[in-house]
Amino acid sequence: MRPIEQKYGIIGASEEIREVIRTIEQVAPSNISILIYGESGVGKELVARALHDLSLRRHGPYVIVNCGAIPAGTIESELFGHKKGSFTGSVEDRKGFFETADKGTILLDEIGELPAETQVKLLRTLEQGEITRVGESTSRRVDVRVIGATNRELSEEVQAGRFRKDLFFRLKTIMIRIPPLRERREDIPMLAEFFMMQYADEHHLAYKPITPQAMNLITQASWEGNVRELKNFVQSVFVLEEDKIIRPETIRHHLGNSEGNGNFMYDTRFPVRVNKETEQVERELILRQLFLIRQDVEEIKQKLSFVDVKDEVTMNKMKDISRYIQQSDAHEIQVDLSPDDRTMQEVERDMISRTLARFYGSKRKTAQALGMSERTLYRKIKEYDLRD
């Protein structure tokens, strides 16, 4: 295996990544605000974290706010706090993320999503180092380093009138652009091997080497979803393949561009070809569904964690929200992935019944979600004696 080159958890040896790392090292110690730009999945959060960890504020709080996940109506009070009674439901004074991040760093993820009024307030905070809670008239000083992340071309957003020019100019003094994976293909083998190793490690499984030819195919793929997609791909191949070695056929098969009838069941993320033994297809489908469900759970977790902070009040609030979601959606997201003694039939039965429940009994939607025909679904409902 090749040596894995990484710095601050950022893997890669391409000139592009080295340049990103050089910039991080140069600008981290200052207080200047930074804009990180790159397509989805290129590693913006990783870079932001490295900036905080290398700064003099590293012992201070690090707060991540996903501006795209907070409703426009509450974002101002979430960021800047509010005074009791300033709007319906504000039963007590509350500080916002900026105050929470005092003496630390705030990452405004998806900053392009900020509503126009909030952009004005943010600019003031950047210029004067102070915030005003919603409903208050006096301002408070905050000492926060701001990092913005975006996968939108902000200059275009400015042109289109969706992002304020003055805020853009203020933020872009230092811009770190992370190139998409297809512009730095030499990083792909190292990343693929690392994710394979990481997955094997986490699940106490044996590492599966990727043959050089298979690695060539991986390296040539388009990776529109960048490193995140590559990571998911490598892990799904690991889960779905029984072979101890990852060969080109396997990669071709999972990338979904092999010759043959190319008849994919539904999800281009993890195509399952249908010209196989039914049993094998079913097995793959089940594993794939399990994998996708796990991914959905991860996504839900990520959406929930629009704040990531060790502040006690906020942590408790987040716990409440997450408890609430777990209760209300329990039937959708509780899937035990630990190895168990159930047979494949039992797993399948369980999955069909959960999916039926999820779609309130709709056979069409259930069949679609499970990638099987309605006819097969009806047959299985009967076979497993599931309530119709």
Ligand X SMILES: Nc1ncnc2c1ncn2[C@@H]1O[C@H](COP(=O)(O)OP(=O)(O)OP(=O)(O)O)[C@@H](O)[C@H]1O
**Residues contributing to the site for ligand X (CB under 6 A):** 10-12, 38, 40-46, 151, 227-228, 231
Which residue of the chain is nearest ligand X when measured via CB?
A: 43
Neighbours of 88 (CB within 10 A): 6
Parallel/antiparallel/unpaired status of strands 130-131 and 175-177: unpaired
- Binding segment (CB under 5 A) for Mg ion, from list 42-50, 180-188, 197-205, 369-377: 42-50
Sign of CA dihedral 376, 379, 382, 388: positive
Count interface residues toward Mg ion (CB under 5 A): 1
Q: How far is the CB of 10 from ligand X (least distance, A)?
A: 4
Sign of CA dihedral 338, 340, 345, 347: negative
Which residue, 23 or 132, has its beta carbon nearer to ligand X?
A: 23
Helix/strand/coil (H/E/C) assignment for every residue in 263-316: CECCCCCCCCECCCCHHHHHHHHHHHHHHHHHHHHHHHHHHHCCCCCCCHHHHH
Q: Residue 14: phi, psi to the nearest 5?
A: -70, 160
Neighbours of 240 (CB within 10 A): 17
Which of 177, 96, 107 shows the shortest CA–CA distance to 146?
107
Which residue, 299 or 346, has its beta carbon nearer to ligand X?
A: 299
Q: How far is the CB of 152 from Mg ion (least distance, A)?
A: 13
Which residue, 48 or 287, has its beta carbon nearer to Mg ion?
A: 48
Residue 38 contact, options ligand X, Mg ion, none, Cβ 5-8 Å cut-off depending on partner type: ligand X
Among 5, 19, 25, 45, binds Mg ion (CB under 5 A): 45
Q: How far is the CB of 38 from Mg ion (least distance, A)?
A: 9
Residue 41 contact, options ligand X, Mg ion, none, Cβ 5-8 Å cut-off depending on partner type: ligand X
Burial of residue 261 (CB within 10 Å: 0-12, 13-18, 19+) is exposed
Residue 150 carries which DSSP code?
E
Residue 227 contact, options Mg ion, ligand X, none, Cβ 5-8 Å cut-off depending on partner type: ligand X
Q: How far is the CB of 248 from Mg ion (least distance, A)?
A: 32
Question: Three-state SS for 52?
Answer: helix
Q: How far is the CB of 95 from Mg ion (least distance, A)?
A: 25
Which residue of the chain is nearest Mg ion when measured via CB?
A: 45
Which residue, 151 or 355, has its beta carbon nearer to ligand X?
A: 151
Give the whole-angstrom CA distance, residue 130 versus residue 123. Answer: 10
Q: How far is the CB of 11 from ligand X (least distance, A)?
A: 3
Q: Residue 11: phi, psi to the nearest 5?
A: -90, 140
Residue 28 contact, options ligand X, Mg ion, none, Cβ 5-8 Å cut-off depending on partner type: none
Q: How far is the CB of 329 from Mg ion (least distance, A)?
A: 23
Residue 63 contact, options ligand X, Mg ion, none, Cβ 5-8 Å cut-off depending on partner type: none
- Binding segment (CB under 5 A) for Mg ion, from list 38-46, 100-108, 162-170, 342-350: 38-46
**Hunting for tokens 């707060």 — which residue is that?**
63
Which residue, 183 or 383, has its beta carbon nearer to ligand X?
A: 183
188 membership: H or E segment, kind and range: helix 188-202
Q: How far is the CB of 126 from Mg ion (least distance, A)?
A: 21
Which residue, 302 or 345, has its beta carbon nearer to ligand X?
A: 302
Which residues make up the interface to Mg ion (CB under 5 A)? 45
